[in-house]
Each structure stands twice: as structure tokens, then as C-alpha cells.
């Protein structure tokens, strides 16, 4: 398993696909704080709640000058359908199946549930400063209240 970067480390700069075509990299947001929230799967209860919460707070992230990016390994078509179904306003990115950003961060790996082993995403959020360094990490996120907690930290980082 890949060692997990810690606060103060540079965020790996892996490309991801975004809806509407094209690629996005964390370095595209340099000069501004960035929140990357990784979630397991589109259109599941916890992931829907998480994406809705960030979408509802997006105007406040925007006002603070903080970019938001929701990331899973689901294909772009699933992201487009998911966003339309739930009125999501946060940009969603599709992390490559192998050697993507989640792999580089060590948050994609073997999981177990009900005695079954499978590959999955560890629900994790990164707050990145304008220089591309990880300012704060939330691992094994519990969804209720999480977006508000991240917003508070992002606003504080943006104020300097």
C-alpha cells in the first residue's frame, strides 16, 4: 500500500477526467485553496448526502476563494447522471481506475464488509493551500456535519 501523505506534504499532481471533457489536475488550482473530497460511489446514500452538503455550501466556499472538487472512481457518465439527479453544483472528477490520485494518496485499497473483500475508496477530504501543500486531512470521514467542518477550516486558511 502506498504511504499516505501528511499535512505539509505536496499533494500529488495526478490528472482526472471532468464532465464536459478534459482533464483537471490539482495544480490547476494553484494560487487558491482547494478542497478535494473523495467518496466511494455515486448515488449511494452516504455519498449523496456528502455531495449535497458540499453543493449547498458551495457559495460560501466560492466567497472564500476556495475551490471544491468531488472525486470517485466512477465513470464520467455516472457523475453526470448523479449530479443531474440530485442538483449537485460541485465539480465532480473521475479518478483513473489505476495509478490515479486516490492510489497516490493511499486511500484506494482493499476493504471488507460483511465478510467480503473488495477494492474501495476510503472517504477522505484534503484541504490544500494555494502552493499545493496539504493543510489538513480528514480520514475515514463521517458525513453528518463534515462539509461544515471543512468550510470552517477552509475559510480560516483563506483568511491566512
3-class DSSP string for 67-90: EEEEEECCCHHHHHHHHHHHCCCC
Domain that holds residue 25: 16-159
Is the residue at 109 inside a domain?
A: yes
Q: Find the range with the poorest average confidence among 27-36, 116-125, 131-140.
A: 116-125
- Please choose, from the candidates 103, 124, 129, 96, the residue with its C-alpha nearest in 3D space to the C-alpha of residue 29: 129
Is the residue at 4 inside a domain?
A: no
Overall pTM surpassing 0.75 (yes/no): yes
Is the residue at 9 inside a domain?
A: no
Q: How confident is the model at residue 19 (pLDDT cuts 50, 70, 90)?
A: confident
Is the residue at 91 inside a domain?
A: yes
Is the residue at 106 inside a domain?
A: yes
CATH of residue 20's domain is: 3.40.30.10
Q: Annotated catalytic, 14?
A: no
pLDDT at residue 63, rounded to an integer: 97
Q: How many domains does the chain have?
A: 1
- Residue pair 104/98 in contact (Cβ under 8 Å)? The answer is no
Q: Which residue has the cell 499532481?
A: 13
Is the residue at 97 inside a domain?
A: yes
pLDDT at residue 112, rounded to an integer: 82
Is the residue at 130 inside a domain?
A: yes
The per-residue b/e assignment along 91-106, b for 16 or more CB within 10 angstroms, e otherwise, is bbbbbeeeebbbbbbe
Average pLDDT over residues 68-75: 96
Local structure of residue 145 (DSSP, 8 states) = T
Using DSSP, state whether 94 is helix, strand or coil: strand
pLDDT at residue 61, rounded to an integer: 98
Q: Given 47, 71, 128, 141, which residue is catalytic? A: 47
Is the residue at 7 inside a domain?
A: no
Amino acid at each position: 500500500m502506498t504511504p499516505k501523505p501528511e499535512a505539509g506534504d505536496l499533494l500529488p499532481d495526478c490528472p482526472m477526467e471532468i464532465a464536459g471533457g478534459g482533464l483537471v489536475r490539482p495544480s490547476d488550482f494553484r494560487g487558491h485553496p482547494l478542497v478535494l473530497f473523495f467518496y466511494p460511489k455515486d448515488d449511494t446514500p452516504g455519498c449523496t448526502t456528502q455531495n449535497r452538503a458540499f453543493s449547498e455550501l458551495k457559495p460560501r466556499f466560492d466567497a472564500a476563494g476556495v475551490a471544491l472538487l468531488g472525486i470517485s472512481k466512477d465513470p464520467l457518465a455516472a457523475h453526470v447522471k448523479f449530479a443531474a439527479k440530485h442538483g449537485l453544483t460541485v465539480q465532480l472528477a473521475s479518478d483513473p481506475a489505476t495509478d490515479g490520485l486516490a492510489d497516490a494518496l493511499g486511500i484506494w485499497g482493499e476493504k471488507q464488509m460483511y465478510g467480503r473483500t473488495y477494492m474501495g475508496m476510503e472517504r477522505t477530504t484534503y484541504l490544500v493551500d494555494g502552493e499545493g501543500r496539504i493543510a489538513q486531512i480528514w480520514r475515514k470521514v463521517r458525513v453528518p456535519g463534515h462539509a461544515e467542518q471543512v468550510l470552517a477550516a477552509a475559510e480560516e486558511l483563506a483568511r491566512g
